[in-house]
Amino acid sequence: MLSDALRALRETFSPPFRRVMVISVGLTILVLALFGAGLQWALAAMPVFGADFAGGWVDAILEFVARFLAVIVLIPLVHPVVSLVAGLFLENIAARVEAEDYPADPPGRDQPFWQSILTAIRFTLVLIVVNLLALPFYLVPVVNVVLFWVVNGYLLGREFFELVALRHLPPAEAQGLRKRHAFRIFLAGVIVALFTTVPILNLFAPLFGTALMVHTYKGLAARSRA
């Protein structure tokens, strides 16, 4: 698995992926900027009690709490936003990895464009909901990091693996393969989740995750045929 991760890391920053990388990161920054602007608008729309009310302390406390919560909420949203944008390019990334590293294997089938968008949106919503539910635990030191890796490792492993597997297998067979190798796929997902905790690198996590899952799928599929 470590060799697959190192291989995927090299491919993430290789020339064939640079165009997708630049577009994906650019759109991600744009979407995050829009989220940030929305939060700033919400902060500006907060009611103001004025300096005559408790000496202005109420306004100061409310502003501090609101800005703190805005940052705490925005951080877990970074990865879902990255995943949403990159979801538009996952088919292209998977196809490139398959063509370069597994030229003798039958090529995968690209999912229809609108189906890919709906899948990306569904996965993004799941990530947002689950991470917001876990938000109170993210405030607990040590627990927050471990919980983030476990929860997102499971979600990322499941989603990325099925996206890759569905290029080659019917849905039932793809799910069956995932369930038979659930622990291995979970560990691969944790590696992707670890990648997402590194600032700047987290913008490239979906590209890395897709490449890693292509190698993971190919290894498991070869083992199943043996």
Question: Which regions in the chain score pLDDT beneath 70?
Answer: 36, 39-40, 42-88, 113, 116, 120, 225-226
The domain of 97 spans 2-225
Domain count for the chain, please give it: 1
Q: Report the pLDDT value the prediction gives residue 186, as an integer from 0 to 100.
A: 93
The pLDDT value recorded for residue 130 is 80
Give 87's contacts (C-beta < 8 A, 6+ positions apart). Answer: 116, 117, 119, 120, 121, 123, 124, 206
pLDDT of residue 84: 65
Packing angle between helix 205-225 and helix 57-86, nearest 10 degrees? 40
Spatial distance between the Cα atoms of 58 and 49, rounded to a whole number of angstroms:
7
Q: What pLDDT, on a 0 to 100 scale, did the predictor assign at position 95?
A: 85
For the chain, what's the residue count? 226
Tokens of 211: 């490449």
- Measure the CA–CA gap between 73 and 103, rounded to whole angstroms: 43
Q: What is the pTM of this model?
A: 0.75
For residue 145, what pLDDT is reported? 81
